[in-house]
Structure 1
Amino acid sequence: MADRFVRIAVGAALILLALFVAQPYVTAVLFAARTPRAITARGDLAPAEASTVALFARASPSVVHVFAQAAAQGRALLGVESDEGGEQEGRGSQTGTGFVWDAAGHIVTNNHVVAAAAQGGGSISVRLSSGSVVTARIVGTAPSYDLAVLQLGRTTAPPPLAIGTSADLKVGQTTYAIGNPFGLDHSLTTGVVSALQRRLPTAEGRELSGVIQTDAAINPGNSGGPLLDSAGRLIGVNTAIFSPSGASAGIGFAIPVDVVNRVVPELIRNGRTRNPGIGIIAGQESIAARLGIDGVVVVRVIRGSPAAAAGLRGVDPQTGALGDVIVAVGDQPVRRLADLTAAMAAAGIDATVNLTVVRDGRTRRVRVTTADVAEVRR
């Protein structure tokens, strides 16, 4: 009786073992999908998805790929780093993004995208969303705002982007960036307005105030591309990223559209923009902070400038003694260079402004008439 039970138990165990070993093969024979599977209907897109899809379809035809080539191979790019959003394809070449500004075929991009070509007559070409490549020429550049305007050659320009305003932006609003990161055409990234009123250094020792910070991914090649709001309106021009690695770290910066809408028409009219100022070279803010100085240190006064006519004094080159520190323009306090440049921009050219200046521990008021500092430096 015991032997029979053992035999039954052993037989059952062998059957179970055989089934265990054979299970994958049986499953493969019975359930393998050897023909294309039926597609499951997904239903309608979520409202947010549908809105994003429609926004991209509406805006992307107006976004272009910009290629700039220096006149001579091997010429180093001037003042451009790849972690600012541009992409160096080779020595003397630069790529970036731009967008259609008007029906006349003007393209807005970053100055640093075309800086290499602008020096000595290099070439610029633009690839449209249709895939066609069109030559372009530089209409005007504004290094102090990192903006440039191009003119397309003979072609029918895509429709211009709708223009919004940066005056009423709120932190947390949704943002959309369209560009050509790493040369990949028409990429869309989304995010939010992370912060407002950031400051960004630009050329000629200036600092742009009111800059938009966004966490929408901006990578090399996105420079000059549009930053849009949820209505598909232009609210900024992507210009730089903060990234130790050179790739997006979620901190991108865009020139506010209110600045763009002021500078670009001037570039189209005159080929350049007038920069109101008084003609000083300011000291580095980090050094001023270490010295406990709350204001803009005048390092040097440009000869023939309004500042020179008003008697402002820079740092003594022999002793290193401080000269003047500008602490206010009118009733507005000046703590950083951006405060001063913003006040000059608000005043305009040939305007009389009252400066509050500290020299040798004493405060005094100085009347200065602003001028185009680009002309003064010539």
Structure 2
Amino acid sequence: MMSLGNDQGPGWPGGRRPVSTSGLPPSAWLTFLLVLLFLAGLFFWVGMRLYRWAVPTPPLLNPQAQPRQVTPREGLDAEEQEAVELFKKVSPSVVNVDTVAKVKRAPWDDRIFEFKAGTGSGFMWDDEGRMVTNFHVVAEAYSQPHLALRVVLADRSAYDAVIVGVAPDYDLAVIQFAPHDFPPRSKIRKIELTSSEDLQVGYKAFAIGNPFGLSLTMTKGIISALGRVIDSPAGTPIPGVIQHSAAINPGNSGGPLLDRFGRLIGVNTAITTPSQHGGNVGIGFAIPSDTVNEVVTQLIRTGRLLRPDLGIKLYDQRRLRQAGFDRGVMIAQVIPDGPADRAGLRGIRRNPRTGLLEPGDLILAINGQPVDNIEDYERLLRSLKPGSIARLTVERGERTFEVEVIVGGT
């Protein structure tokens, strides 16, 4: 039996009908957000206008402007003082070495025009106006008569120069002011020289030169390594080279590498760079001052460098190893009346009784340094001085002995 007046139907749990609610559609929410963004932008614009009105922008020009007062410079620290004094001391000795081409613009025009064909660095060596630079700096002028050398001093005065002598094997050259264009003696300031024998990794190193034509540029670094080997323009190795981190670039070639007292310890010669036309990456190489001193002295004396020579020709190394000789280098021929001949050394020869070939003397060491191949022999030979005595360890048949040879020169 139904009960009248009761609105709770049996079909709804709890006896109540759910209340119906309806939410805003997505388009209404989007409109609401756009309005908010518009109002925020409007408030920002109005705020900026009010700020600019309240805080006026200063004028671009001020007729009453005065120079600013400067803060007085404080004293130099020890390292700065060291660098400043070094530059003042050495810069008058450093020069630009320019290769100059002199040409006529046209056959009917007798006027001579000049243009710079190359540039490098150098430094004054002695009181007679001789200067030292790299061979590759003057190589074109050395081989091409229409090119000339011009030296620019620290005061920017320029003078013609001539080549005294070159040593391509060590990438060194000596030049001198031309007799017709010699500067006043007061401008000749030879550089101070020290030995490179006792250098150590970590010592300070300074370079002064002409990188990219920027005259009298000084940079600073340290000696990074000793005893490096680089190739010379002649294709031969240059031993004992100094590696350093003072920034050097094209144009620094031939310039001095200095210790902290401003004394020459090397001649800047080459850099290692990732690309052919790249700049400094902190790896520079300098020919040590002891080598420079020896080579330059020979060039001044004779105009050329005497190469150490023992008066022998070596047997082919590949055939020597195939013949069962696993070390040393063999003398194939002894130059008559040469150093080795006078010391009693023998080359390959035919036995007069049997008619068979006999091996030549096998060189195993030079001055106690082992000779395992031709490269070792060439490297050790280059370290010898003409006129000095070299001790060779030699194997002849079953006998090993030492012999002294007076080094010759060619």
**TM-score in terms of structure 1 length:** 0.73
Q: Does residue 239 of structure 2 align to residue 239 of structure 1?
A: no
What SS class does the counterpart of residue 56 from structure 2 fall into? Answer: helix
> In the alignment, which of 7, 29, 37 is matched to residue 68 of structure 2?
37
Range 174-183 or range 327-336, more displaced: 327-336
Flag the 1:17–1:235 CA change in 2: closer, same or farther, 3 A.
Answer: same
Q: Does residue 104 of structure 2 align to residue 104 of structure 1?
A: no
Which protein has greater RCO, CA pairs closer than 8 Å, 6+ apart?
Answer: 1
Q: Which residue of 2 aligns with 1:330?
A: 367
Q: Could you report, residue by residue, the CA deviation over 1:125-173 in whole angstroms, capped at 9, with x for unpaired residues? A: 1111111111111111112211111111311242111111111111111
Q: Residues of 1 paired with 2:367 and 2:80: CA distance?
A: 49
> In the alignment, which of 299, 305, 312 is matched to residue 273 of structure 1?
305
Q: Which residue of 2 aligns with 1:159?
A: 189
Task: Please give the residue correspondences for 1:248-287 in structure 2 after superposition, counting only pairs within 5 Å.
Answer: 248-278=280-310
Q: Which residue of 1 aligns with 2:204?
A: 174
Flag the 1:27–1:347 CA change in 2: closer, same or farther, 3 A.
Answer: same
Amino acid at match of 1:250: G
Q: Which residue of 2 aligns with 1:68?
A: 99
Range 108-117 or range 28-37, more displaced: 28-37
Q: Which residue of 1 aligns with 2:151?
A: 126
Q: Residues of 1 paired with 2:225 and 2:49: CA distance?
A: 66
Q: Which residue of 1 aligns with 2:222?
A: 192
Flag the 1:214–1:22 CA change in 2: closer, same or farther, 3 A.
Answer: farther
Percent identity, aligned pairs only, is 40
Structure 1 unmatched runs, 5+:
1-11, 74-88, 286-292, 314-322
Q: Which residue of 1 aligns with 2:163?
A: 138
CA deviation after TM superposition for structure 1 residue 45, in Å: 1.9
Amino acid at match of 1:328: A
> In the alignment, which of 63, 88, 105 is matched to residue 57 of structure 1?
88
Q: RMSD value over aligned CA atoms?
A: 4.0
CA deviation after TM superposition for structure 1 residue 198, in Å: 0.8
CA deviation after TM superposition for structure 1 residue 43, in Å: 1.1
Q: Which residue of 1 aligns with 2:111?
A: none
CA deviation after TM superposition for structure 1 residue 21, in Å: 3.8
Flag the 1:36–1:131 CA change in 2: closer, same or farther, 3 A.
Answer: same
CA deviation after TM superposition for structure 1 residue 298, in Å: 7.2
Task: Please give the residue correspondences for 1:210-249 in structure 2 after superposition, counting only pairs within 5 Å.
Answer: 210-245=240-275, 246=277, 247-249=279-281
Q: Does the 8 Å contact 1:355/1:368 carry over to 2?
A: no
Amino acid at match of 2:266: G
**TM-score in terms of structure 2 length:** 0.68
Q: Does the 8 Å contact 2:363/2:392 carry over to 1?
A: no
Q: Residues of 2 paired with 1:296 and 1:141: CA distance?
A: 33
Q: Residues of 2 paired with 1:324 and 1:16: CA distance?
A: 100
Q: Does the 8 Å contact 1:71/1:120 carry over to 2?
A: no
The alignment covers a number of residue pairs equal to 330
Q: Residues of 2 paired with 1:358 and 1:243: CA distance?
A: 47
